[in-house]
């Protein structure tokens, strides 16, 4: 496969984004509960810029690479697995656009404990979307591994059209 770098970048961004997303959800959002009202706006603005740089931009790039996987996926990865992963990503983006980002806009005006709790609770939607997504990605990785183990054990490679010597 001459475009091997596309799945490589896809997998690397998948696991990077999972870690960054979990840190955002379970470390950053929860720590905002313990920040005073006077410091909150400045902290929210500073962390918001970093979240965009370290999570949102890589997630946008990941989404592009997930779409590219429809055409440039390794043979053992089915198109249905790519659809499954893409659905998880889209669920997260929809949740972000219609729930979390509007809450973040309101929080940028100042600390509101009720909104902050709503953000934390509603973020479970994105976490569920991440579970769907990463389940598909891990399944893809396992299928690729299984195909290469099979290839080296038998000298045959299983592709979409069948076995090829």
- pLDDT tens, position by position, 55-103: 999 999 999 999 999 999 998 999 999 999 999 999 999 999 999 999 9
Determine the Cα–Cα distance for residues 111 and 21; give it in Å rounded to an integer: 22
pLDDT at residue 154 is higher than 80: no
Determine the Cα–Cα distance for residues 151 and 145; give it in Å rounded to an integer: 10
**pLDDT score for 165:** 45
Determine the Cα–Cα distance for residues 64 and 62; give it in Å rounded to an integer: 5
* Domain membership of residue 135 as a residue range: 5-164
Confidence of residue 155 (pLDDT cuts 50, 70, 90): low
Identify the CA nearest to 65 among candidates 17, 125, 108: 17
User: What torsion, rounded to 10 degrees, do the Cα atoms 53, 57, 62, 68 define?
Assistant: -150
**pLDDT score for 147:** 81
Contact present, 96 and 66 (Cβ < 8 Å): no
Phi, psi of 74 (to 5 degrees): -65, 150
Other beta carbons less than 10 A from residue 53's beta carbon:
10
**pLDDT score for 153:** 72
- Give the pTM: 0.86
Domain count, the chain: 1
Determine the Cα–Cα distance for residues 115 and 32; give it in Å rounded to an integer: 11
30-39, 56-65, 125-134, 149-158: which range is least confident on average?
149-158
């Amino acid at each position: 496969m001459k475009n091997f770098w596309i799945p490589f970048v896809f997998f690397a961004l998948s696991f990077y984004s999972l870690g960054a997303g979990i840190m955002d959800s379970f470390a950053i959002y929860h720590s905002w509960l313990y920040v005073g009202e006077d410091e909150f706006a400045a902290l929210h603005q500073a962390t918001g810029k970093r979240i965009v740089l370290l999570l949102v931009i890589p997630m946008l790039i990941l989404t592009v690479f997930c779409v590219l996987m429809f055409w440039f996926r390794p043979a053992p990865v089915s198109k249905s697995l790519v659809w499954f992963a893409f659905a998880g990503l889209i669920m997260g983006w929809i949740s972000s656009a219609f729930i979390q980002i509007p809450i973040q806009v309101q929080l940028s005006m100042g600390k509101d404990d009720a909104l902050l709790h709503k953000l934390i609770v509603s973020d479970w939607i994105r976490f569920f979307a991440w579970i769907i997504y990463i389940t598909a990605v891990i399944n893809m990785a396992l299928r690729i591994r299984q195909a290469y183990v099979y290839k080296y054990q038998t000298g045959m490679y299983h592709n979409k059209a069948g076995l090829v010597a």
